Chains A and B, each alone.
Chain A
Amino acid sequence: MVAEPTIIERTDEATSPNGRVDAEPEILTGAEITCRCLEAEGVTTVFGYPGGAVIPLYDALPRSNLHHVLSRFEQWSALEADGYARATGKVGVCIATSGPGATNLVTGLANAHLDSVPVVAITGQVAQPFIGKDAFQEVDITGISLPVTKHNYLVQRPEDIAHTIKEAFYLARSGRPGPVLVDIPKNVFLAKAPFDYPKKTGRRSYQPSLIPNMRQVRLAAQMIDEAKKPLIMAGHGIILAEGQEVFRRFVERTGIPVIFTLLGLGALPESHPLAEGLMGMHGHRHVNAALEECDLLVNIGARFDDRATGRLSGFAPNAKVIHVDIDPAEIGKNVPADVPVVGDAREALKLLIPEVAHRDHADWRAWIDGQRNRMLEAALENRPTWPEPYAIIKSIREAAGGEAIITTDVGQHQMWAAQHIGVEHGERWITSGGLGTMGYGLPSAVGAKIGRPELEVWTVVGDGGFQMSLNELATAVQERLDINIAIINNGYLGMVRQWQDLFQDKNYSEVQISGPSFVKLAGAYGCTGIRIERNEEIMPAIQRARSIDGPVVLEFIIEPEANVYPMVPPGGSNSEMVHGNLWQPTEEDV
């Protein structure tokens, strides 16, 4: 049976927002139409920054039901839309003016593109007669954003706005999600047209495959049943498909241990007995050992990113590979698949469950458990004096009980958090995976908190990355967001320093970084700042931050030259991990 691809239509809220479905279409300006379209898509919040080309849009905004969040930099608008989307599963929306506003969005769009996050960006463009004339604040943003968006549009007539935005939202959230940019010239915002929001969208040339081929599902099931040492590699695709619950049923039925990519963390709660932890460059020793040993690797919703796989020639050398992915282009791109299953992760898992046998794999799991690096774990437990990164992360985890949203910036602190935060809910672990965008921590937390105001929100950031986006404190204060910001301050661009330490003979080049007094800075922005210099101050500070309503900046002073271990050296295979001086091999280990 070959499943017909289905176009998922949103039939629910596609009626005219004013409810007058049968009435004559209203005549509105392009700007008003844009607002109406966003409302019709169920958008409640947009993140943006005004400017010349979008003045007409900002003129219409106050008359709409949309809440506009004024970011302090357009990149943060895009990353807030990204964080909002990850936390809510809805499409995040950002707005910027032409020229510099639009180019400032680009990094944020690239971030969403590499991590498959549904975002719609609306940019103003210079008026049509000026296009191509190097007009004031003109850039070819559809050209510039081409490789970092799923698709983009330059709208030519006010009549085209509604169906373009309809299609943009459909593209952003369907199939493999991603960012879509809609560029609208100023005169198109000003011109009038009848407004009628289309009920249907879709194109003959765009038909994402959601339901996998049953023949492939059966082949996969057979291979799963026959495997002696199977391993599941859980990726972001499970979370994007909102497939966590089905995934848990699948895992419990097959008894297969689960390892996670950076973005797959929380696809199964990490407290689950079958959850083994993070894989790859900073993955746990037993996880990478299991990869080396397994005879079947079932990749569900991950793209075999190089930070997860290490050197490909040494990756899962003894394993057959089943690859479940919604994007056919991912099949065989990096790692050849013995059985590809093309489809939505949740749909694929639903079809797989009745086909696979109930298994236990107790011996195999015991073998993996035996590979745990207990020395490292013990060493991490017993380190005194300095606030240990590990102790900080563990304390946040204990205080928040696995229910909080955790976002991170990029660097060592991100890896410490990934290793030790213990993600219980995949959509509450928000980190920049594919692009590794420094500055992501605070804006993603702002977006996430606005999307899920009822949840506790923490962001774990480095002193370097935080200095990129700290101006977003103003937005957090203006929006009265209850966010806790944990700065892991080592006085270094730590991750780069670690590479220079381990692979460049300690030639520390431009990695020492000074900063402001973060406590005073917090005060200047109108929020609370707390400095933590000793281990025993960690938990009280965390509890104090949780009790304060509004943004709190916690500055944790850590050992400047602490490294993230274990680590697979760049270009190495996952089995070639280094463990640093924290781990002294015992006789057994040698």
Chain B
Amino acid sequence: MQNSHTLVVLVEDQPGVLNRIVSLLRRRSFNIDSITVGHSEQPGLSRITLVVNGEDAEVEQVGKQLYKLLEVVKVTDLSGEGAVYREMVLVKVAAKAQTRAEVLTIAGIYDAKVLDATPSTLMLEATGDAETITSFLNMMKPFGVREMVRTGRIAMARSGQSKSNGRIDRINSDSYAAD
């Protein structure tokens, strides 16, 4: 079954680490919807969020292959309930006098912020999960989207332990209980 999985990968900040990860995903033909990278709460470690589409077994392979990279400290699959997902979008929408109020009303529904305005356009910023952002963009489309940029997904588990679907086990055969 094809499923969208969100993998959070904790990596050591070493030169070339992003290259190693991207090269691995490419050469093993894993399909990536988005990838975001940034610092984590721990000095020397970065957190990468990958959105992977694939069969569950394939996604498990992604995790195991990632663990073979020396810099990868931990891979967590956050698919499922116990996590929050966010993306951000910046969008420049045509907004002349006649439509401006309507654009602003819809922006208000989505809690979008106005970042810049010209006599004919508004620049809006919205955050939310993927569906919210898509729906927001769909609402803006009829007004005329001049420019749009969307970040990839970032995600975090709700509980303290960052374990919704759990950590993809790196070494022990513990996770291979027969059923």
Q: Which residues of A are in contact with B by a Cβ distance under 8 Å?
A: 2-3, 5, 142-143, 146-147, 151, 154, 171, 203-209, 212-213, 215-216, 219, 327-329, 331-333, 336-343
* With A329-B67, A332-B60 as contacts: A209 and B23 at CB distance below 8 Å: no
The smallest C-beta distance from B171 to any residue of chain A, in angstroms, reads 4
Contact in complex: B173, A329 (CB < 8 Å): no
Of chain B, the residue at the smallest CB distance from A147 is B27
Task: Note all chain A residues with C-beta closer than 8 A to B177.
Answer: 215
The smallest C-beta distance from B56 to any residue of chain A, in angstroms, reads 11
Query: Considering the chains assembled together, what is the distance between the CA atoms of A340 and B71 in angstroms?
Result: 25
Query: Considering the chains assembled together, what is the distance between the CA atoms of A203 and B170 in angstroms?
Result: 14
The smallest C-beta distance from B83 to any residue of chain A, in angstroms, reads 23
* With A147-B23, A219-B178, A340-B176 as contacts: A328 and B171 at CB distance below 8 Å: yes
* With A143-B19, A146-B19, A339-B178 as contacts: A209 and B73 at CB distance below 8 Å: no
Nearest first, the 5 A-B pairs at minimum CB distance are: A329-B64, A209-B171, A342-B173, A213-B173, A216-B173
Of chain A, the residue at the smallest CB distance from B60 is A332
Query: Considering the chains assembled together, what is the distance between the CA atoms of A209 and B20 in angstroms?
Result: 22
Contact in complex: B176, A331 (CB < 8 Å): yes
Task: Note all chain B residues with C-beta closer than 8 A to A336.
Answer: 57
Q: Which residues of B are in contact with A by a Cβ distance under 8 Å?
A: 12, 15-16, 19-20, 23-24, 27, 57, 60-61, 64-65, 67-68, 70-73, 169-174, 176-178
Contact of A327 among B60, B68, B70, B73 (CB under 8 A): B68
Contact in complex: A204, B27 (CB < 8 Å): no
Contact of A333 among B19, B61, B178 (CB under 8 A): B61
Contact in complex: A206, B70 (CB < 8 Å): yes
Contact in complex: A340, B173 (CB < 8 Å): yes
Contact in complex: B23, A146 (CB < 8 Å): yes
Contact of A342 among B15, B27, B72, B171 (CB under 8 A): B171
Query: Considering the chains assembled together, what is the distance between the CA atoms of A538 and B158 in angstroms?
Result: 75
Task: Note all chain B residues with C-beta closer than 8 A to A337.
Answer: 176
Query: Considering the chains assembled together, what is the distance between the CA atoms of A549 and B178 in angstroms?
Result: 58
Known: A209-B173, A216-B176, A328-B64. 11 other contacts (CB 8 A): A2-B174, A147-B27, A171-B70, A205-B12, A213-B174, A328-B169, A331-B64, A332-B61, A333-B61, A342-B176, A343-B173
Query: Considering the chains assembled together, what is the distance between the CA atoms of A341 and B174 in angstroms?
Result: 9
Of chain B, the residue at the smallest CB distance from A326 is B171
Query: Considering the chains assembled together, what is the distance between the CA atoms of A5 and B173 in angstroms?
Result: 11
Task: Note all chain A residues with C-beta closer than 8 A to B61.
Answer: 329, 332-333
Task: Note all chain A residues with C-beta closer than 8 A to B73.
Answer: 204-205
Contact in complex: B16, A5 (CB < 8 Å): no
* With A328-B67, A329-B64 as contacts: A205 and B72 at CB distance below 8 Å: yes
